[in-house]
Amino acid sequence: MDRDPSIVQMMRAQFLIGIVIPLTIGTITAVIISGIFHLVNFLIVLIIGLGLHVSTDVYNDIYDTKQGADVKAIDTRNYFSGGSGILIEKPYLMKKMYLLARLGILVSFLGMLGLLYIIEKTLWLYVIVIYLGSAFLSKYYTAAPLKLGYHGFGEILVWLSFGPLAITLACLSQDLVPNTVFYGVMPITGLTTLTVLWSGQLVDLPNDIAAGKRGMVARIGSKNAVYGYMIIQLLLILNTIVVATFFILHGWLLLFSLVPFIVLLPKIWGILKKNHADPTKLVLLTKLNSTLYGLFSFLFMLGLGLTLL
């Protein structure tokens, strides 16, 4: 029996970890600085982040389908990249998907109101600006008339949303204003998420070009995108070393988060160099990159946590 997808599938829940990680890292950083952990504040900021992320994922599915970036005949769609394909197979679910995206906005908005109630009033404006900007991007990253992700702004917006904005929101939720330590950590989570976007663009390149979705990979070509990917990873490694060395006491513990790069990055490089122009052979890239993303993020959070001891 051909059943309708679950809500979990419709919201592409496997990607929600992408916002949990920066909010957690930002919160741990705040605790390192202040020595105080506000649990309720952390739970509320997670609600805000998850609501916005659900809205973003669902809107992306809706508008990528309507605008032709997601197509039925796609051999490279997998758990780690590509749209869900739900609306291609079951277009009658469009109204339900719109409702889900709007519920994500509503839940995050209510979470923001709850956060404003419990944090210092001097921080309200920062939270409101971040929320409104994030809610706007959740739709217009892909939606007309702006379609920001289609016109070369996607990479910087993803880095900004999952790096500086998410880290700052986590910081504010713990009643702190970002300082030098936060500025050091901010780029890291943006760079990790950018690797996921970049590898996905390599796999989705033919369909993106056909739909007029001109991200950075499409603009520079798959061969140059190989070096672009490696530059992002090298910046991530360098940023981690700098934070571990200069920004956090006992920061050497963070260096263990770089161990997965020793094992996985050479394999990824080999796949990219050999198969950059063949999306069907790059599916393994998205799997390896997601593994690297997950291991690095977990070990980085663990290292931050251990510095508290």
Burial class (CB in 10 A: 0-12, 13-18, 19+), 188: buried
Give CA angle at 77 (278, 95), nearest 5°.
145
Q: Where are the domains of the chain?
A: 7-307
Span 236-254, pLDDT tens digits:
999 999 999 999 989 999 9
What SS3 state is found at 72? coil
pTM of the model: 0.95
DSSP string, 111-145: HHHHHHHHS-GGGHHHHHHHHHHHHHHHHHTTSTT
Mean pLDDT computed over every residue of the chain: 94
User: Of the candidates 121, 32, 11, which has an alpha carbon nearest to the alpha carbon of residue 24?
Assistant: 32
> Given this model, what pLDDT does residue 3 score?
86
Residues of the chain whose pLDDT is less than 50? 1, 73
> Given this model, what pLDDT does residue 1 score?
47
Span 50-66, pLDDT tens digits:
999 999 999 999 999 99
User: Of the candidates 37, 12, 3, 20, which has an alpha carbon nearest to the alpha carbon of residue 189?
Assistant: 20
Span 272-295, pLDDT tens digits:
999 999 998 999 999 999 999 999
> Given this model, what pLDDT does residue 82 score?
63
> Given this model, what pLDDT does residue 76 score?
58
User: Of the candidates 236, 226, 190, which has an alpha carbon nearest to the alpha carbon of residue 205?
Assistant: 226
User: Of the candidates 54, 25, 52, which has an alpha carbon nearest to the alpha carbon of residue 304?
Assistant: 25
> Given this model, what pLDDT does residue 85 score?
83
